[in-house]
Structure formats: structure tokens, C-alpha cells
Amino acid sequence: MKNNRIYNFNPGPAALPLPVLEEIRDSFLNFAGSGMSVTEISHRSKWFEDVLNDAIVRTRRILKLDERFHVLFIQGGASLQFCMIPMNFLGQGQSADYVNTGTWSTKAIKEVKIQGKSVKTVASSEDKEFSYIPKNIAFNSDAAYVHITSNNTVRGTQWASFPDTKGIPLIADMSSDMMSRRFDASPFGLIYAGAQKNIGPAGVCMVIVRDDMLKQVPDNIPTMLKYTTFSEKNSLYNTPPCFAIYTVQLVLKWLEETVGGLDKMEEINRKKGELIYACIDGSGFYRGTAAPDSRSLMNVTFRMSDEDLEKKFIKEATENGFGGLKGHRSVGGCRASIYNASGIEAVKALVDFMKTFEKKNG
């Protein structure tokens, strides 16, 4: 523990950078000299428009997005995107390809079927409890788009590199690894990320969408479920989640100006992953659940010999200032979510605790 704050390994809502929290605290009652809190200013004011536009500019700069891409902020989390995507981009007689790598992919596929639209699961890792990322996938050449989940929080797997879709627009749920590593955005028709895991607080979803995708949006869907509503009004058609967007803007500022950009962030994240996976691999006590070539650098999942031992581990970890290490309720076990805001210091402390626990109980 440091400054009465625990080492936060929660999977989402997750840790935020301490400098961001401190800036929010220091400016909360009088934002930018307005005499008001950021939660009180009008979303039509210059104060908020400056926040919103800076978040957009920083996103474009960090990810090196060209002019074809629009950065949007939408309420409803990633789960709303599960239904908006087929509603906007899957027309009559069309079908989409989905890769099923676990819980969130499964939910996304379900939302396509609810609308009575055609979806093909072209690859799945369900045969081995979603412990790996499928390879050598044969996509359908007539697919309207290909959908993947870039990082899987529940099972601890992550796409190390993205699939070649041969020009078919790639759509990705990047909720849990957005802004954690460098990637080429050009093959993506749309990227979406619920903020509460890696880039901000709960309440807003960042959506990055390409021009050619927006041209496909039909007129006969509800206004608030059309991507063009948000792109044409700079995410200001109605009152947006102002505080959540403000926090995202501060996180992006921290990433650029304190961390030193995405390349530096990726370097740090890889070091964190190496530390904790080396601890697991060097132990006969802990067992990683993800295939080594599919391991996530954001969510490290592991088991022990029995559930009672895992419960003891989580209890003692909590007592020693390590929070959020319980695995997802659907699979059990243990999980350390080591998002951007969880620094190397936190991971080193966790590894030390894991080694001590093993000596006492192994």
C-alpha cells in the first residue's frame, strides 16, 4: 500500500493514474476558472468543447489516425455496441463473420441473432475453454465485416497480432487493451472501447469509425443508435457523459505527457507481463490458464491446486493491500488486471506477495 491506497488489480472499473485523480480533485470545485465543477458546466460551453476536442485530438495523435477516422463518445458501454454494429452495418441479405474467443464475443454474437441478422462464427476457442486465440482463420469473402475481441478479460487471452481479413472491414472490441500498445488502425472499419478498463471511468464508450462505414448507415434506425448522429454532431447531439469524457481526456494527457506516448506504454506493459508470467511459469504452485502464445498483457489469469487455497490467497492478498484479484464469477480462480494505470511497482509488489504465499502454502 502507498498513501493509504491499495494496489488495484480490479478488472473494471479499474485503476486510474494517480496524477489524473489528483488533477480531478484539485480542479473539481473550480474547473478552468469557471467557478463551477466540471460536473456543472454546460456541455455546450467552450470549457467542455475544449475538453472534448482535446480528447479527440489526442486520440488521433496517439493512434496516428488519418482523416478517414472519426472519434466518437457514446453512452451505453461496449455492450450497446454489440447491437449498434449489426444495426448500422449489416443490411438485408448480408452476413458478418465473428471470431468467438469468450464471454464478450459470445454476447456480441447473441446481439446479432436477436435482430434476426446473419452471423457466421468462423472460428472459436470454446473447445479448450477459450484458452487460446484461433489462427489461420478462413474468412468469408462476402462478409460485411469481421468482428473480434482484441483482449479477453475473463479468460486472459489477447490477439498478439490482428488477422488479415483481405480487405474486409475489421471491427474490434478493444475495451480492455485500448491505448496499451501500438497498432495499425488502417484495416479497422470500427474500434470501440468501454472506458472503464483502461482509459477512463465507467459511463462512456470510445468509438473510432472510418468514413466508408458511416456511408453505410441506414436512415430507418433510431436516432440515438445511428453512428452518423454522433459523427455529424461531434458527440454533442444530446448531453454526453461529460465527467467521463473529461477523465478520458486527462488519461490521454497523462499517457502522452507523463508516460511518454504509446511506444513507452507498451514497453512498460510488456515488462509487467514478463514479471508476473515469469513468477507463474517458475512455480509449481501457480498455473496459468491461457496458452502461452495467447497470453494477455492486461489480464493475467491463474489457478492453484484447489479452490480453498485460491480463496485463502485472495483473502490474504486483500489483507495485505492487493485488491481485485478474484477471477471472474463465471470461471473462478485468480486474475490480476494490469492495465496502464497499474505500474511496475504494483506488479513487483504482487509478485513478491505471490512468492511469499507459495513458500507458506506450497
Whether 66 is a known active-site residue: answer no
Per-residue confidence (pLDDT) for residue 309, from 0 to 100: 97
User: Distance of alpha carbon 40 from its chain centroid, rounded?
Assistant: 28
CA Rg value for the chain: 21
CATH number, span 261-361: 3.90.1150.10
How far apart CA 135 and CA 232 sit, in angstroms, is 38
Place of cell 490477439: 159
Query: Where are the domains positioned within the chain?
Result: 22-258, 261-361
Nearest to 325 by CA among 10, 6, 1: 10
DSSP-assigned letter for residue 336? E
* Domain over 22-258 is classified CATH 3.40.640.10: yes
Whether 197 is a known active-site residue: answer yes
Catalytic residue chosen out of the listed positions 117, 159, 177, 197: 197
For 110, the enclosing helix (H) or strand (E) is helix 103-114
How far apart CA 246 and CA 42 sit, in angstroms, is 13
| Banded model confidence at residue 2, pLDDT cuts 50, 70, 90 | low
- Report the predicted TM-score, pTM, of the whole model to 2 decimal places: 0.97
Nearest to 44 by CA among 248, 243, 236, 235: 236
| Banded model confidence at residue 20, pLDDT cuts 50, 70, 90 | very high
Percentages (nearest 5) of helix, strand, coil residues in the chain: 40, 15, 45
Per-residue confidence (pLDDT) for residue 41, from 0 to 100: 97
Indicate if 261-361 has the same CATH topology as 22-258: no
Q: Are 139 and 130 in contact (CB under 8 A)?
A: no
Mean of per-residue pLDDT scores for the chain: 97
Per-residue confidence (pLDDT) for residue 4, from 0 to 100: 84
How far apart CA 200 and CA 177 sit, in angstroms, is 12
Catalytic residue chosen out of the listed positions 47, 117, 159, 173: 173
Whether 104 is a known active-site residue: answer yes
Catalytic residue chosen out of the listed positions 47, 104, 159, 254: 104
